[in-house]
Structure 1
Amino acid sequence: MSGCKITASSMSDDGFWAAINILINKPHVVNKRLWGCKVICKHTCSPVLNPWLPSVCPRVDSLKVTEAVMECILSKLGLQSTHIMESQPVEVTLIELLPKSYSEPHALQLVCQNRGDSQVYFFDVTPLGISQTLSPDFSFSVQLKEKNIFLKAECDEDSKSFQWLSETVLPQLIKWGEETGGRDPNKQESLSLVSNENYYRKYNELKTKYGKEMVKIWPECTDPSKFVYEDVAIATYLLLLWEDERQIQGKVEKQTFVDLGCGNGLLVYILAMEGHGGVGIDIRKRNIWDIYPSNVVLEEKTVTPSDLNLFPNTDWIIGNHSDELTPWIPVVAARSSYTCNFFLLPCCAYNFDGSKYQRQDSSKSQYTEYLDYIKKLCQECGFRTDTDRLKIPSTKRICLVGRGRTYPEEDHSKYCNSTQKLININPAKSDEKTENWISDFKPREPVERVRNCTKIDKNLILSIVDCIAQYLMKELDTNVRWSPGRSVDLPELVQLIPSDQLKSLKSECGGLQTLLKNHHHIFKVQGGKVQLRHPKSVDEINNEMKSKKSKVQKIQLQQKPCWFFSNHPQGCPLSDKTCSFLHVNKII
């Protein structure tokens, strides 16, 4: 039984093959079960039979495929390798599909591209003894013909795998093919500076070695599933980068580092445990610092850009989401020594003086423009600078790597002096007794400021809550037992608040929206609209906590007064026993 689907498309032949190239080399983009893939071998072939491809392909004996095995497979497919570049050759690629979950079985896929017919065939050649769930276990093909895309598969049309091919893969393929020839030329490739295969192996090794246990004991209020594995990924990248550097330079001794703005220090911990001597510096100590062993060196101090904060005996300066120190990382590395390199992962955009960077070009996003600005700065400091795209759970994943200089060592002093010209905001005065490079650098506050509208005067909060609630309850529908009132756009509600009160809210980060979300027991804020929330019952709260598997043994309900009971014209829609709040005549 076979499945078939035909979809109209406006893609060109070049766009079709560009889209197929993405599907072959980056299957993880559309297949969420995959981390990526590894190309085992490629062959240029010519067909010796007509038709030249059967509906199935012979399986290999193991995941390790030899040249002899490959030649046998090609022979059974009616193909033979050729060194002659024919006008319409058949390109055969053997791919190992790498699962996102490292413990899952790998799969092998054979891809045959017949450019003469604008058709590509996919065969599952995973050894029969391996039960893989990464890709369809049947043969299928995709063809561009007369402005139509034909998907054909050796399976039942009702199967989940065929539905996935027709409803997920095919639309994405068409989208790629119709968008600028199938590829965005400005998109940064992932992991271009290190081996993908080595990264896959090393990341899973470190994830098992450090990540899982660290998630269990994580003492910070941040999400460990994001922050732990992000630092594991960055550590993996640096370790491979440094391993390649040692091989090129013929060195055995591992690189030293300084992590400026190290935060939770997890990156420092992993690098130190992997044998690299280094230190992490941050203006504020974190709770987790006390958990690390003694060989993990972390310092709590303010780093002010100056000659006093150079590291002449350090191989690498690291700036991992280093905030106001971000533009200073290449400058510090450049002035520390001729051989000092840097790794920089920009996040928030800052100027040299610690103020927020303001976008200059409206045709670019602030992030893109800031990356361009930082890369130009790195190059002006004399670094040979590469950019790369990390595989981390963050939207801001472009890093800059400065390795080596564009000038000879004898010009190092001249370049160090010229970097002062780059720091064009209030350089330190010559008559000041200081080694600082800038006079008004503003580091972040040593004590993290709580900015969630909880520090505003309580009477002000109550007056704003009452103002918004009264506005939402205008023209209540009295024909129903209980009405939540109107649903109003947030900007409309902003107009109700006096400017001086809005200023107080904005100083506490988030403004009116944050204040309303802090009162989620009264207001529902969703999709830019605000409405009174229907009160939750005791059973609803208990069920929610069970579904979230809360570690709280006993939930304290009916302790605080019910706002609706005292303030809503129709009272609370729940009874005294079922409401999760206490029914008393008191305003919160």
Structure 2
Amino acid sequence: MPYLVTEASEDPSVWEDEPTNMTSQPPMNGSKTSVAQEDQLCTVASHPVKEGNELGFGRAAEVLIRQAHVLNRRVTVAVVWSLPPPPDGDVIPCDVTRTLCARLGVVSPEAVAGCAALDVLDGGQPAAGCRQLAIRKLVPRQAGLEAELELVVKDGSSVGFLPLQSGSRLIPPFPHKLQLVSGDIRLVAPPSAVDTPSARWLAEHALPKMARWTVDLATEAARPLGEHSLQLVDAEQYTNLYMELKEKYGAEFVKIWPENTDPLKFVYEDVAIAAYLLLLWQNDRRTLQLELPQTFVDIGCGNGLLVHILCSEGHPGYGVDIRSRGIWKMYPTSTRLEVATITPSAETTYPGCDWLIGNHSDELTPWLPVMAAATGPDTSFFLLPCCPWDFYSKYQRCNTRLSQYEEYMQYVYELAERCGFAPERDRLRIPSTRRRCVVGRRRAAAVSADALRQLTAAGTFRPRAAAPAVRNCSQLARETVAEAVRRVALRVVADGALPLSAVAELLGGDTLRQLRQQCGGLQTLLKNHPHVFRVRAGAVSLQDADWLRVDGARPELAASVKTSRCWQHDHLPAGCPLPAPQCRYAHGGDDLRSRHVEHVARTVD
């Protein structure tokens, strides 16, 4: 019995049972025993795309087919095989071929094009010469579920899907098609499926997204919706390995995480990077006929979890960072982590190391290709850049037509080429906006030590301090902070809520330069004063009375009431919007009480 998406779900995250006559899998070679051939397709819903065209529709269809996870969050990857298989294409696995042939009643994948089962998607009309066929395999995100297969039929103005299995959890269990007709995209399906939750989900979520993509991608100059991820590894193998490592390491470290960072992000991000590297290295061992696991050094290893996973999975290596982390003490002795200050140069080498890893390695990022090239012709590198740095300072932008991140990624790529590599780009699947990586594992040319020295000869590297600098605006001069807060507050009183740009213009000069050196800059300063300001949607206003009012429903906060003075009462012409008894802050010295005295009083009582 299939499991279908419920009406309330934005993505297929909740499912319900619905009986259907497709629980068996008879061949579809002309018999009239299935839903697909008992019903002619009818229009379920339509969506206008007046600015769309066949170019945009075709590009949108490719997104829908190959990036199914963008729409269906229960899917982690879509594997697509063209029909008939091209001579240089991927071989269709035997189990997929058997399912395809049994379901469609054909003897081989090459015979699918003439199969009568396609009539339901063709509407009984002969197929156009531009029709393309493919098998799509959807791999589920949840461990323990089986992947599912469907046949994809695409031409210039339509894309149709025909399920090849019953009992679906990931795809609608009936044939359906999206087609571009006279300025509309129409969803068509069998009449018996119109009132099902799956059809409603397609109409309410798949159809509008397809329409939006068709408009967005309608011009020649339009950029693709997004890069395909995991281009250097097999996506299905990656998913399986990631789920295995997630179960093996993820839950354990999320539970015991001692760092002041979000474990749900940092743990699973390192698990995903480890899965990617392990699969990349496995492929290289097979391709290069290597017998031993690759060795590695993680430059700027941070919490060390990536090093721990790679070592635990059999790869000799170690991590280096300028300071230790609390979690280091929790790793076994087999996880080797070292505290060291790295001062890179064209002579810095790591003999015996197969791979240098730079995972958000900041100021060391541009040095990794240099150090890998200097180490030897068999040393590769993996870079996942984050903060943009060149060799000796923050990276300075040159091309404003690109975002800073895109420009920096191009800089790293070209730098790797200058170090003699034939670098490769890829996009990881990690919980981060900085997910593009550069991999240098092939050499295009030999680069001499003199050439590397010349490349890096423009300055002197200054390593960061071992103790991280405090940059939350708390170390700024008190007079500077007080004057900035007063000026902004008085302007808000006079003009009402201000956009952040207007606040920056108001402060200007030296104050703004100091704030730009802090993490979060101006917003950090304002949010450090929640009793004065409220920052929402890029606008700054005065904190309202509800926030300042004593909360009688939270007795645990009673000890802090009246232990500091009310800024608004002391500094604004109109004073505090609340009378003294209702405000959590003290209105004048007589209203102020000592937190220490209150604590002693409660203890004596």
TM-score range, shorter chain: 0.7 to 0.9
Out of 486, 500, 503, the position equivalent to 2:496 is 486
Please list, as runs of the form range in 1=range in 2, the aligned pairs for 1:72-471 lying within 5 A after superposition. Answer: 72=105, 77=117, 88=129, 90-103=131-144, 106-113=147-154, 118-128=157-167, 132=169, 134-154=170-190, 155-156=193-194, 160-165=200-205, 168-175=208-215, 177-180=217-220, 184=224, 188-306=227-345, 309-353=348-392, 355-407=393-445, 415-426=448-459, 440-471=460-491
1:179 Cα deviation after fit = 3.9
Letter in 2 for 1:391: R
Q: Is the 8 A contact 1:43 1:91 kept in 2?
A: no
> Given that residues 19 and 182 in structure 1 are in contact (C-alpha distance below 8 angstroms), is that contact kept between their aligned partners in structure 2?
no
Question: Structure 1, residues 424-452: CA drift from partner, whole Å, max 9, x if none?
Answer: 404xxxxxxxxxxxxx2111121100101
Match of 1:28 in 2: 69
Confirm or deny: 8 A CA contact 1:537 1:574 kept in the other structure: no
Tell me which residue corresponds to 1:560. Answer: 563
SS at match of 2:448: helix
Partner letter of residue 400 of structure 1? V
Q: 1:339 to 1:105 in 2, by over 3 A?
A: closer
Q: Distance in 1 between matches of 2:209 and 2:171?
A: 11
Please say which of residues 491-500 and 216-225 is displaced more in the overlay: 491-500
- Give the AA of the match of 1:140: H
Check the 8 A contact 2:549/2:578 in 1, yes or no. no
Q: 2-side partners of 1:498 and 1:96: how far apart?
A: 56
Contact 2:346 2:456 in 1 (8 A): no
Give the drift of 1:504. Answer: 4.1
Quote the Cα distance in structure 1 between the aligned partners of 2:500 and 2:238.
Answer: 46
How far, CA to CA, are the matches of 2:99 and 2:223 in structure 1? 33
Contact 2:56 2:215 survives alignment (8 Å) = no
Counterpart amino acid of 1:254? P
Structure 2: tracts of 5 or more residues without a match: 1-41, 86-94, 107-111, 121-126, 594-605
Tell me the distance in 2 between the aligned counterparts of 1:241 and 1:70: 35
1:518 paired with 2:531, answer no
Q: 1:554 to 1:210 in 2, by over 3 A?
A: farther
Please give the alpha-carbon distance, in whole angstroms, between the structure 2 residues aligned to 1:312 and 1:541.
63
Q: Distance in 2 between matches of 1:498 and 1:19?
A: 46
In the alignment, is the contact (CA less than 8 A) between 2:346 and 2:370 conserved in 1?
Answer: no
Offset at 1:501?
4.1
Could you tell me the percent identity over the aligned residues? 38
Per the alignment, do residues 398 and 497 of structure 1 end up closer, same or farther by CA in structure 2, a change over 3 Å counting? closer
- Corresponding position of 1:69: 102
Measured in 2, the distance between the counterparts of 1:578 and 1:69 equals: 76
> Given that residues 63 and 126 in structure 1 are in contact (C-alpha distance below 8 angstroms), is that contact kept between their aligned partners in structure 2?
no
Q: TM-score, normalised by structure 1?
A: 0.79
The CA RMSD measured in Å over matched residues stands at 3.5
Distance 1:422 1:498 in 2: 38
2:78 to 29, 37, 62: 37
Q: Which runs of 5+ in 1 are unaligned?
A: 45-61, 81-85, 427-439, 475-484, 546-551
Equivalent residue number for residue 19 of structure 1 = 60
Relative to structure 1, the CA distance from residue 382 to residue 63 in structure 2 (aligned partners, 3 Å threshold; closer, same or farther) is closer
* TM-score (norm. length: structure 2): 0.77
Question: 1: CA distance between counterparts of 2:257 and 2:552?
Answer: 26
Instruction: Please give the per-residue CA displacement for 1:347-399, whole angstroms capped at 9, x wherever unaligned.
Output: 2221222x111112222222222222222221222122211111122222221
One-letter amino acid of the structure 2 residue matched with residue 350 of structure 1:
W
Which residue is equivalent to 1:4?
45
Distance 1:460 1:177 in 2: 49
| Shift in CA distance, 518/17, structure 1 to aligned 2, threshold 3 Å | same
Q: Does the 8 A contact of 2:365 with 2:389 survive in 1?
A: yes
Question: In structure 1, how many angstroms separate the alpha carbons of the residues matched to 2:369 and 2:465?
Answer: 23
Asked if the contact 2:60/2:214 (under 8 Å) is kept, the reply is: yes
Select between 257-266 and 390-399 the one with higher mean Cα deviation: 390-399
Please list the CA deviations of residues 224-265 of structure 1 after superposition, one character each: whole Å capped at 9, or x if unmatched.
222211111111111011001111122221010011111111
Could you tell me which amino acid in structure 1 is paired with residue 491 of structure 2?
Y
Q: Note the alpha carbon deviations across 1:474-512, whole angstroms, 9 max, x for none.
A: 4xxxxxxxxxx8212334444554844444444444444
Q: Distance in 2 between matches of 1:539 and 1:69?
A: 71
Could you tell me whether the CA contact under 8 Å between 2:67 and 2:228 is conserved in 1?
no
* Aligned amino acid, residue 176 of structure 2: F
